[in-house]
Chain A
Amino acid sequence: DQQVKQNSPSLSVQEGRISILNCDYTNSMFDYFLWYKKYPAEGPTFLISISSIKDKNEDGRFTVFLNKSAKHLSLHIVPSQPGDSAVYFCAASASTSGTYKYIFGTGTRLKVLA
């Protein structure tokens, strides 16, 4: 049973436009969310995170939005650049539960077209 779901396996966006990657979760205990980015033949690298006490976190071109009532988060990349082409993983944790685990989604492959 996937507790973290990324329902779009792939997304193509034109350079300069906005990329929106979506993630849904089912466990109401999750209170911390992250996005990792993965290039081919490399390990995932941390991109941005958000705590459940916030509904938005911004870092340069990357913004993560959290809608707790809908159990949904999204990553916005504006403007998209060809170097953003990668697989993006959404992850969640119940940081106060003592389990210290991140639950990852299946990933969304983003392709930014020049």
Chain B
Amino acid sequence: DAGVIQSPRHEVTEMGQEVTLRCKPISGHDYLFWYRQTMMRGLELLIYFNNNVPIDDSGMPEDRFSAKMPNASFSTLKIQPSEPRDSAVYFCASSLLASGTDTQYFGPGTRLTVL
């Protein structure tokens, strides 16, 4: 299996622009997670899906952030409008189960820079 795939790997944009990050989970995994990594807060869970349905979006920082999972093999995280404080590395992860003990497999991340 190719693992979790994320695109783009790097994104540089200007404040106010819309940014869309993409993720393809491991085939057969029912759970998909979006995380953000910053120096100050480490890895923060933004939102997770089960069978394409958002289950917990309490980590989404503001209404500027939205996530969708239109099918089992694709998810997007959108920021509109983007701000410099959104600069971070965004990771997508998937797991077969979300039992609280199941291994989550991470993608390589998207490094977002908002100027």
Residues of A within 8 A of B (CB): 2, 4, 6, 32, 36, 41-46, 49, 51, 89, 91, 93-97, 99-107
Contacts and interface: CB of A to CB of B under 8 A. Distances in A.
A45 to B, nearest CB: 7
A92 to B, nearest CB: 10
9 contacts: A4-B42, A43-B107, A44-B106, A89-B43, A91-B43, A95-B101, A100-B48, A100-B98, A101-B56
A99 B101 contact: no
B85 interface: no
Contacts of B39: 106
B101 A32 contact: yes
Interface of B: 4, 31, 35, 39-45, 48, 55-56, 91, 93, 98-101, 103-109
Given A43-B91, A89-B42, A107-B42, A101 B101 contact: no
A43 B42 contact: no
Contact of A94 (B98, B100, B108): B100
A51 B93 CA distance: 22
Contact of B43 (A44, A96, A97): A44
Nearest to B91: A43
B94 to A, nearest CB: 11
Given A41-B109, A43-B4, A99-B56, 11 more contacts: A6-B42, A32-B100, A32-B101, A44-B91, A45-B105, A89-B42, A100-B31, A104-B43, A104-B44, A105-B42, A106-B42
